[in-house]
Structure formats: structure tokens, C-alpha cells
Amino acid sequence: MKIIADENIPFVSQVFTHLGDVTTVPGRSICHSSIKDADILLVRSITPINAGLLNNTKIRFVASATSGVNHVDREYLKQNHISFAHALGSNAVSVAQYVTAGICHWSLQNHKPLKQLSIGIIGYGNVGSQLEKICQKLGIRRVLNDPPLAKLGQSHLESLNTALACDIVSLHVPLTTHGKYPTNNLINQQNVSKLRPDGLFINAARGGVVEESALLSHQAKHPKFSIILDTWENEPNINTNLMKRTLIATPHIAGYSFDGKIKGTQMIYQACCEFLGKKPLWDKDIVNLDDNIPCRISQLEQTDIRLAILTAYNIIEEDKRLRLILSQPELVIPEYFDTLRKNYPIRREWVY
């Protein structure tokens, strides 16, 4: 059994070795020639899974150690009897904590107490529901928008326009181009004016959900309008003009907590074992990590939860690393963007 895996999946060689011969490669280097003799393919979000990659190969099982699947042609896999699994919800806590840290930074910068704020959470799935729980604890008023769930009878859901009118708007939808509720360019020239002139807009979903030119136009008209972007159109060749106008810019790492990644590894491992009829021999709980990371909270930080959160997760350091693109012209943007993702430091979720 030959297994090709993205090298950025934690412990992938160690975990899958009893299932076959594991070869790890960079995600963007996975191509037809590198997998043509493989039986199993394990990827993350940067590897497009489609006919061009998989035609005339031996691949019979594909897994993505990510929640999102817009990089996967699932219909092609189904038609060609290729089994598929992904790590739905594995990084939900990580993304919710990223968004919360961004909100806390903006709140402090603009002297806006959390309990006086409202947030429109667009997409009430794994991430959106986690974020809603945190915002409830922080005293932020929540407005939830999710048309597919509303159709299923989910209560307490509001219209998109109502969500866009909040102080903070945070996107947590998949990127889709078909169906009754497509999300491609969900935020566009037609509705961007609904955003508050002094509000905060956050996209930690997928780049294509936002028409970036519309966001730029809105910010140009309203200098007090703040933007936090973790996902971008045309990744990794991101729009530096837009980055200059952001409050916080990061290289698609909101879901990159080490805990979220390990959950993703376990989820696709268990799915692969089930596909092969093998008994799982590895569990994420046996990973030897120091679960008691010191986080020294000052007396002032004990009186302001925002400062405590930013001590636990310094999101501004993430921004500084990506923003070097603007001051060091020798950096090649796509390569540097991927390097930051590949060499991402270990970040633990707050419970640790």
C-alpha cells in the first residue's frame, strides 16, 4: 500500500506507517506524476482534487485533513468510486479563537467595550456556533445568519442584511458556486454598503466569499472601517493593496492551532482505517505535549478579558510576519505566504 501525504499534516508518517509506505511532499507539489502509483492520497486545502490530478492513477481513497472541501471535486470522486473523508469541525475552536482575538484587539484600539457591541455571524456551522458561544460569554449581542439552516427550521436566524448591519461581521461559510445558496462573492458591490462605516469585518472562511474590490471601495469611502483577513482571493498570490488597508492580515492560519491539526490527523486516520478494514493503533491523546503552557496574566489583564485573551494568543505577531511583504520587496509573495504556513509555530488552544 503506497500513501502520498502533504508534509504539513502533523505526525502523518508516524500515524499511517502501519497502513502502508508513506511518502510526504509539499502540498503544492502534489501532481499527477507524483501520485500515479499511489493507493491513498492525504492532503490539506492547497491541493486541488480533481480529474486532472487523479485520472489514470490507482488512488482509491482521498482524505483532506481540513474542514473545508471547496478544493475537492466530490462528484468526480463519487463517479469514479474513490472514497473520500475530511476533518469536518477539527479546527472550529481554533478559528473561533482567532476571530475572538481579532475582535479584542479592535475593541481595545477603538475604545469599544465588548458588552456594547453586536456581531453578525454569517454561517452557523461548526465555527459559527463555537464563535457564538464565546461571544455570549463576552456579552456581545449575536445576530446569526444561515439560510440553509433557516430552511430546515432552525430558529433565531436573521436575514443577511440584519447581520451585515452589526458592529462586527464575521464570515464562516463554505465557498460554493452552485445550489440554492451559493456563497461565491457573497459580500459584493451590491451589499457591501450595508456594513457599518466604523465597523469591523472579518473573513476567516474562504477568500472567494468576498469580492475584494468591493471591500477596498468601502474602506476607501470609510477610513474608520476595519478589516481582518485570514483568507484571500488568489492565494497564495494575495492582494497587497488590500493588505495595506487591513487592521490585521494573516496567511490563512486561523485554523492552524496545533490541537486542531492533530484532530484533523486523527479524523482522517480513523476514516482510512475504516476504509481498509484495519484497527486504529494511534490516538491523538497519546501525543506527548506539555499541556500546561505558562501564560502569565498581569493584574491589569485579570481585570480586562480582552488583554488576557491577547496574552494567550498574540494575533498581532501573526500580522507582523505577513506584513513583512510590504517592507521587504525581495520577498516573493506566493512563496513567502506558503513559507509562513509551512513553518507556522506551535499554537495551542486556550484550554491548554
- Positions annotated as catalytic residues are 206, 235, 252
In 230-333, where do the E strands start and end?
Answer: 248-249
CB 284 within 8 A of CB 263: yes
C-alpha to C-alpha distance for 293 and 296, rounded to whole angstroms: 10
C-alpha to C-alpha distance for 285 and 302, rounded to whole angstroms: 31
C-alpha cell at 18: 502501519
Residues in Cβ contact with 189 at an 8 Å cutoff, skipping those fewer than 6 apart: 211, 213, 214, 217
Closest to 12 measured CA to CA, from 255, 254, 267, 257: 267
The 61-64 sheet, strands edge to edge: 21-25, 2-6, 40-43, 61-64, 83-86
The 168-171 sheet, strands edge to edge: 141-145, 118-122, 168-171, 200-203, 226-229, 248-249
Closest to 145 measured CA to CA, from 178, 106, 187: 187
C-alpha cell at 144: 446569526
Backbone φ and ψ of 25, nearest 5°: -145, 160
In 107-197, where do the E strands start and end?
Answer: 118-122, 141-145, 168-171
C-alpha to C-alpha distance for 41 and 271, rounded to whole angstroms: 13
C-alpha cell at 170: 464575521
C-alpha cell at 101: 482575538
